[in-house]
């Protein structure tokens, strides 16, 4: 039996929902987890399939994890900036990542702030050249 147009549309919507689903104890999306781990190829493929570069971790990360607060990465851009993954930061920006977004619960600063805290100078330079606001002005 050949699927009809409405079935294909429903599958497409379900697939996009799965791409942006928040999973695991830290409530990360697949693109956020890949960005936090420095997996450029995975981030590129997820974005190519329609993953949203601006979905943030859910506010309700499992508080029983001792380091959940420290692991909370906010958006995929913040996660990549914290890790010093310049190529991923650039890719996310090219795909519409909000450069001055903070984490969903406000516990994390902008990507440029997080990169600066971690000493990721090249990432800071890239973010500033791409239009990141001054941390004090934010």
Q: What is the pTM of this model?
A: 0.74
- pLDDT at residue 123 is higher than 50: yes
CA 63 remoteness from chain centre: 20
* 7 or 101, which is more confident: 101
Question: Each residue of 42-101: pLDDT tens digit?
Answer: 999 989 988 889 887 655 443 333 333 444 558 899 999 999 999 999 999 999 999 988
* 92 or 103, which is more confident: 92
Q: What is the pLDDT of residue 1?
A: 45
Q: What is the CATH number of the domain that holds 57?
A: 1.25.40.20
Q: What is the extent of the structural domain holding 133?
A: 5-137
How many structural domains comprise the chain? 1
Cα–Cα distances in Å, from 116 out to 39, 60, 71, 90, 135? 21, 26, 17, 16, 10
Question: Across-strand partners of 23?
Answer: 28
């Amino acid at each position: 039996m050949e699927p009809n147009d409405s079935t294909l549309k429903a599958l497409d919507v379900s697939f996009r929902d799965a791409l942006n689903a928040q999973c695991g104890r830290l409530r990360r999306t697949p693109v956020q987890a890949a960005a936090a781990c420095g997996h450029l190829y995975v981030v590129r493929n997820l974005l190519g399939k329609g993953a949203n570069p601006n979905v943030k971790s859910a506010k309700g990360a499992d508080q029983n994890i001792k380091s959940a607060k420290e692991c909370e990465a906010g958006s995929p851009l913040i996660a990549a900036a914290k890790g010093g993954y310049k190529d991923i930061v650039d890719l996310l920006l090219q795909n519409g990542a909000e450069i001055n977004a903070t984490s969903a619960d406000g516990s994390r600063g902008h990507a440029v702030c997080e990169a600066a805290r971690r000493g990721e100078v090249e990432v800071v330079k890239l973010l500033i050249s791409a239009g990141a606001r001054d941390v004090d002005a934010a």
